[in-house]
Amino acid sequence: MAAKFELVVCQNLAAEVRAILVGEALPEAIVTVLPARCHGPPVEKAAAPPLPAAAECDPRPAVWIGCRCLAEGSGPGAKAPPSPPARQCFELLAGRDFTDALARQGAYLLTPGWLACWEERLRGWGFDQATAREFFSESISRLVLLDTGINPQSTARLEAFAAFIQRPFEVIPIGLDHLRLALKLQFAQWQLADQAAGFASRSQEASHRLADLTMVTDMLGRLTSLKSESKVIEGILEIFTMLCAPAHQAYLPIGATLPPAASADSTVPLPDPTDCEQLRTMPGDYSWSDSQRGFALRVAHAEETMGFLKLEGFAFPQHRQHYLNLALNLTKVCGLAIHNARIYEQLQQNIHELEFALDVNRRTQAELETTVKQLQTALADVKLLSGMIPICSGCKKIRDDQGYWSQVECYIQKHSKARFTHGMCPDCTRKYFPDV
């Protein structure tokens, strides 16, 4: 809400202030009118009304237009002026030097606002005509109206008042120029104070944002160094929780075996199949939610969609466009972090598969080497007899390569590791030992 130019005005000057506000290019102002406490016996503070609530609507100090009696009569508990008002309200109309000169001459200064109800003021002071004439004759030489030109009846009222107390009078046309300049000066000072307050607020907000961005930059740096996609998703949810403070958020991975994820403090259910399908078919990089208090984002890298992030229920929905602009930039880094994590996890998986294959190959090679050694050992122990072997059809002797004839058992023992033990078959037993 924009700040209002709040004016606390003495009743004697209210008409002049309102006329200036209408004629000048000043912003809409809140005008609070307090009763005039000058030109009479002092009024107890407790009897004065409190400052209306309208003047309390903005924490910036109000601009007080009136004299010191305005502050003294503001009542108990009222908001005090930031600096003392004018010594006399006439100074706002014609300047201190001019009004002081008239006062030294014994002039009783009047404004159109005071003359508008002079009879009520005299009754309020407890004066009748006789006591009023006595009071004014003792201290003043003449009545002087500082005519601002606001009320055409001011001169007639001055004449009536002068006749009532039997004092001479004078009208000095002063217009509104001096009060207009004073009011513009007050407005300029108020603007400076308002701009200073706004600058301080923006500076504080910028400091907070800088701190947040510094923290986010650090988190993004750590995010791209994570080697697990699930850890990256946890980091993404943490970053958006800090930046946007959504009531609910969830992440739907695409092209991965991970299940959907939600922030730890979120009460939103994980995306259902219908919701997941809507996210997958989202035409652009983002879409606003039906409530307009959240949005969904596509997290991608190099035209490849890594997943979708859904945020809902911002604490400050008026900043939703700022949240979206920030999020669209962050999703690029998030997509890169997920891409890197997936590459790392795939490389880790390939390394494990290669290590397993190498281990299997080493075991197979060791087994083959053992088998080869065993076969070589067996081959060394075996001598094969091959080819055409000449044998005698009568005595069954075998001829060797040198032409010598040897018994079968001698030939075989010579060309192999076989050894013979002698026995006798049943046929030979009957032939050679018929009696056994």
pLDDT score at 38: 62
Q: What is the mean pLDDT of residues 248-268?
A: 70
Q: How many domains would you assign to the chain?
A: 3
Question: Does one domain contain both 173 and 57?
Answer: yes
Question: Does one domain contain both 164 and 19?
Answer: yes
Angle subtended by helix axes 320-381 and 229-244, to nearest 10:
170
110-124, 137-151, 196-210, 351-365: range with lowest mean pLDDT:
196-210
The residue among 235, 262, 247 whose CA lies nearest residue 330 is 235
Q: How many CB atoms lie within 10 A of CB 139?
A: 8
Here the tokens at position 192 are 């400076």
pLDDT score at 331: 86
Here the tokens at position 65 are 């237009």
Question: Does one domain contain both 270 and 397?
Answer: no
pLDDT score at 67: 59
- Confidence tier at 264 by pLDDT (50, 70, 90): very low
Question: Whole-model pTM above 0.75?
Answer: no
Question: Does one domain contain both 163 and 38?
Answer: yes
Mean pLDDT, all residues of the chain = 79
Residue predicted with more confidence, 213 or 179: 179
- Are β-strands 5-10 and 63-65 bridged in parallel, bridged antiparallel, or unpaired? parallel
* Within a domain: 375: no
Q: What CA–CA distance (Å, rounded) separates 296 from 95?
A: 65
Q: Is the torsion defined by CA of 199, 202, 208, 210 positive or negative? A: negative
* Domain's final residue, options 141, 171, 189: 189
Residue 9 and residue 62 in contact, taking contact as beta carbons nearer than 8 Å = no
Strand 246-253: give its sheet, edge to edge: 261-262, 246-253, 304-314, 294-301, 286-288
pLDDT score at 248: 86
Cα dist. 189→58, 92, 174, 182, 349 in Å?
Answer: 16, 16, 25, 11, 70
pLDDT score at 112: 92
* Within a domain: 374: no
CB under 8 Å to 309, separation ≥6 — which residues? Answer: 236, 240, 249, 250, 251, 296, 297, 299, 327, 331, 334
Question: Does one domain contain both 244 and 98?
Answer: no
pLDDT score at 58: 47
Question: Does one domain contain both 146 and 41?
Answer: yes
* Domain's final residue, options 345, 360, 391: 345
CATH of the domain at 333: 3.30.450.40
* Within a domain: 215: no
DSSP states of 224-270 as a string? HH---HHHHHHHHHHHHHHHH-EEEEEEEESSSSPPPEE-TT--SPP
pLDDT score at 82: 52
Question: Does one domain contain both 183 and 312?
Answer: no
pLDDT score at 133: 92
* Within a domain: 406: yes
pLDDT score at 144: 94
Question: Does one domain contain both 181 and 272?
Answer: no
* Within a domain: 261: yes
Q: What is the mean pLDDT of residues 156-162?
A: 94
pLDDT score at 52: 45
Question: Does one domain contain both 55 and 185?
Answer: yes
* Domain's final residue, options 317, 345, 373: 345
Whether residue 183 is predicted with pLDDT greater than 90 in this model: the reply is: no
Q: What is the mean pLDDT of residues 235-248?
A: 85
CB under 8 Å to 210, separation ≥6 — which residues? Answer: none
* Within a domain: 366: no
Residue predicted with more confidence, 427 or 415: 427
Question: Does one domain contain both 232 and 108?
Answer: no
Here the tokens at position 339 are 């891409």
Residues 385-400 pLDDT 10s: 566 788 888 887 888 7
* Within a domain: 361: no
- What percent of the chain lies above the pLDDT cut of 70? 82
Strand 29-34: give its sheet, edge to edge: 29-34, 5-10, 63-65
Question: Does one domain contain both 18 and 81?
Answer: yes
Residues in the chain, overall count: 436
Question: Does one domain contain both 131 and 46?
Answer: yes
Cα dist. 165→120, 132, 143, 261 in Å?
Answer: 14, 6, 10, 89
Whether residue 375 is predicted with pLDDT greater than 90 in this model: the reply is: no
* Within a domain: 20: yes
Residues 53-105 pLDDT 10s: 444 444 456 677 765 555 554 444 444 455 545 567 788 888 889 988 998 99
Q: What is the mean pLDDT of residues 417-427?
A: 80
What domain range includes position 409?
383-436
CB under 8 Å to 256, separation ≥6 — which residues? Answer: 229, 306, 307, 342
pLDDT score at 316: 81
Whether residue 126 is predicted with pLDDT greater than 60 in this model: the reply is: yes
- Confidence tier at 25 by pLDDT (50, 70, 90): low
DSSP states of 64-126 as a string? EESBHHHHHTS-TTPPPPSS--BSSTHHHHH-HHHHHHHHHTTEEEE-HHHHTTHHHHHHHTT
Residue 48 and residue 73 in contact, taking contact as beta carbons nearer than 8 Å = yes
**Beta bridge partner(s), residue 314:** 246
